[in-house]
Amino acid sequence: MRAQLAVIGRDVSLAFRSGGGALHSVIFFALAALVFALAIGPDLALLSGLAAPILWAIALLSALVSLDRLFQADFEDGSLDTIVETADFLELSVLAKSVAHWLSAGLPVVLAAPAVALLLNLPAEGYAPLLLSLLVGTPALSFLGAIGAAVALGLRRASILVAILSGPLFAPALIFGVGAARAGAVDSPQFLPAILLLGAITLFGALLGPIAGAAAIRLNMTA
Q: What is the DSSP string of 162-198?
A: HHHHHHHHHHHHHHHHHHHHHHHHTT-TTHHHHHHHH
pLDDT higher at 159 or 118:
118
200 pLDDT tier (thresholds 50, 70, 90): very high
Q: What percent of the chain has pLDDT over 70?
A: 96
Helix, strand, coil percent values for the chain (each to nearest 5): 85, 0, 15
Mean pLDDT of 157-176: 86
pLDDT of residue 152: 83
Polymer length of the chain? 223
Q: Could you read off the pLDDT of 9-40 as tens digits, one per residue?
A: 888 887 777 555 677 888 889 999 999 888 88
How far is the C-alpha of 205 from the C-alpha of 199, rounded, in Å? 10
User: Under DSSP, is residue 87 helix (H, G, I), strand (E, B) or coil?
Assistant: coil
Domain range spanning residue 151? 2-222
pLDDT at 130 over 90: yes
pLDDT of res. 223: 58
Mean pLDDT, range 48-52, rounded to an integer: 91
Query: Model confidence at 143, in pLDDT bands (50, 70, 90)?
Result: very high
84-106: average pLDDT = 88
- What's residue 90's pLDDT? 87
Domain count, the chain: 1
pLDDT over 60 at 127, yes or no: yes
Output the CA torsion 212→216→218→219 (10° steps).
140
Question: Would the pLDDT of 128 be above 70?
Answer: yes
Single-letter amino acid, residue 176: F
C-alpha span between 188 and 190 (Å, rounded)? 5
CA pseudo-torsion sign 194, 209, 155, 10: positive
Q: Which residue has the higher pLDDT, 207 or 75?
A: 207
Q: Provide the pLDDT for residue 21.
A: 60
The answer to whether 152 touches 167, Cβ cutoff 8 Å, is no
In one letter, which amino acid is 187? D
Neighbours of 48 (CB within 10 A): 16
